Structure 1
Amino acid sequence: MAIQAVIFDWAGTTIDYGSRAPIVAFQAAFENVGVTITTAEIRRDMGLDKAQHIRKIMALPAVQRDWQQRFHHLPAQADRDEVYQQFRQILLSSLPDFAQLKPGMTAVIDYLTAHKLPYGTTTGYDEAMLSIVRPIAASQGYRPTINVTSAQTQGVGRPAAAMLQLASNKLAVTDMTKVVKVGDSINDILEGKNAKAITIGVVDGSNLMGLSLAEFTALTPNEQTKLREQVSAQYLAADADYVIQSMAELPALLTKLNQTVAR
């Protein structure tokens, strides 16, 4: 096959419809220190290494203002470390509740297996978090060969290309332009672009959409269509090469890409 590897993100892309687990944990960790953060404030930097994500949230003007009012000083490194540790413990305890494969993933796994197409992941999760979601995903048939965290790239995470390049190297890729990166956040797309990979944004159940399956299903057909168009536009504005509505569309797109790359 012309495509040499497919690299996925985890939450919001292959598992955890709506990428809910990190949202719940971020909000709970900040609530524990008396600071309220919105879902929108969290989602704007989703896809980053989680410690870096904490730093981004704490640098937001609204968060800095609230922190100053409550503690009479701006967030310091010790504060960031404390919130991160709380976030991490909350996330670790809740991850099993958010590890269900997204709709369409069974067809994707069957396609990759049938075509002997190597696949792996890059992620904002750390190894302890992966150790929880990996076996649950494996019990559903999803077994990425390679899982790369920023700890393996000296702390360099998205949107830099380092994790994606390392994952590709581990899968014996010889040409990064023949790697497909599939994700659900703008940082996923930027990671792929920086690595010169083919980038695909998935709409339904994504971080950009930000709704659980129940919330999305409760929308009217017109509301669903409008929301999908808004999410697609954000991917395209980030220069994504392709946008798919759901993971069920990925096998057909991979077939098309194989034909295109082969030429």
Structure 2
Amino acid sequence: MNYNNPVQLQAAILDWAGTVVDFGSFAPTQIFVEAFGEFDVQVSIEEARGQMGMGKWDHIRTLCDQPQIAERYRKAFGRTPTDEDVTAIYERFMPLQIEKIASHSALIPGALDTLTGLRQQGLKIGSCSGYPAVVMKKVVELAATNGYVADHVVATDEVPNGRPWPAQALANVIALGIDDVAACVKVDDTVPGILEGRRAGMWTVALVCSGNALGLTYEQYQALAPDQLVAERKRIHALFEGSRPHYRVDTINDLPQVIADINRRLARGEMPQAV
């Protein structure tokens, strides 16, 4: 038995907030601000966005490790935050997130048509998120009411290690019956999500404008002056540089052209791990 390179993609593994739903990725960031606020610790939206893509407990731990936030916590409680304190914030974060997720559940404009087209080409649609399963259940229900149902969903607490580890992406490979990781493309709006795909041996696509890095509503994005958009793209491309995405595009609606290019590269014998 010999190994043969895949000659075309079999699956797209998609993130959720900032990728398929919630243009600007507002649901998780706003709730981080509110959860810390209930402990009288101020965290800005910009600070909350910094580690987006990680599992939420790990995200809170990382925020608490930032010197300026640790100092605010120390002023409020007389100590820097322990893991028990992180868990307390996380346990307040969870019900807030479930309560308010519906406010940011709209699909990215055009996403449903784009994904319908990919399915017509024979691609399976996997998905994963930094949300835990209890939040993902609500996200999935809301997306279904808007017409989007992924073929498989993996929450961050359903694997031993969340992003930037590859476990969630690989769990999709197993569940979807994909025979080679190189036949998958991971699409995400965060650095941890791109690292997840890279470490899983997949093609990777970073979304520059619909997600966490730009952090604007669809209407604000549409209203950006051309020179502002060029400057923002340049800034965000630099943010993704170290995670080495194979492609950087504005939104999921640019994915069909990327899929076509990857298929051409696979047909030539190119593999994602070698690029």
With normalisation by structure 2, the TM-score equals 0.91
After TM superposition, give the deviation of residue 93 of structure 1 in Å. 0.6
Q: State the alpha-carbon separation in 1 of the partners of residues 222 and 111 from structure 2.
A: 19
Structure 1 position 184 matched with structure 2 position 202: no
Structure 1 position 55 matched with structure 2 position 64: no
Residue type of the alignment partner of 1:94: K
Deviations 1:203-223 (A, max 9, x none): 122111112223333432211
Residue in 1 that maps onto 2:272: none
Residue type of the alignment partner of 1:30: F
Among 148, 157, 168, which residue is 2:162 paired with? Answer: 157
Give yes or no for contact 2:11–2:178 (8 Å, CA) kept in 1: yes
Alignment of 1:24-39 (within 5 A): 24-39=30-45
Alignment of 1:1-263 (within 5 A): 2-154=8-160, 156-263=161-268
Deviations 1:85-121 (A, max 9, x none): 1111111111111111112312322212211211111
Structure 1 gap segments, 5+ residues each? none
After TM superposition, give the deviation of residue 191 of structure 1 in Å. 0.6
> 2:187 aligns to what SS in structure 1?
strand
Deviations 1:26-50 (A, max 9, x none): 0001111111112222212100111
Q: State the alpha-carbon separation in 2 of the partners of residues 100 and 3 from structure 1.
A: 28
Residue type of the alignment partner of 1:153: V
Structure 2 gap segments, 5+ residues each? 1-6, 269-275
Q: How many residues align?
A: 262
Give yes or no for contact 1:103–1:247 (8 Å, CA) kept in 2: no
Give yes or no for contact 2:129–2:154 (8 Å, CA) kept in 1: yes
> 1:180 aligns to what SS in structure 2?
strand
Give yes or no for contact 1:104–1:246 (8 Å, CA) kept in 2: no
After TM superposition, give the deviation of residue 224 of structure 1 in Å. 1.8
After TM superposition, give the deviation of residue 25 of structure 1 in Å. 0.4
Taking structure 1 as reference, are residues 117 and 231 closer, same or farther at Cα in structure 2, changes over 3 Å only? same
**RMSD across aligned positions (CA):** 1.4
After TM superposition, give the deviation of residue 234 of structure 1 in Å. 2.2
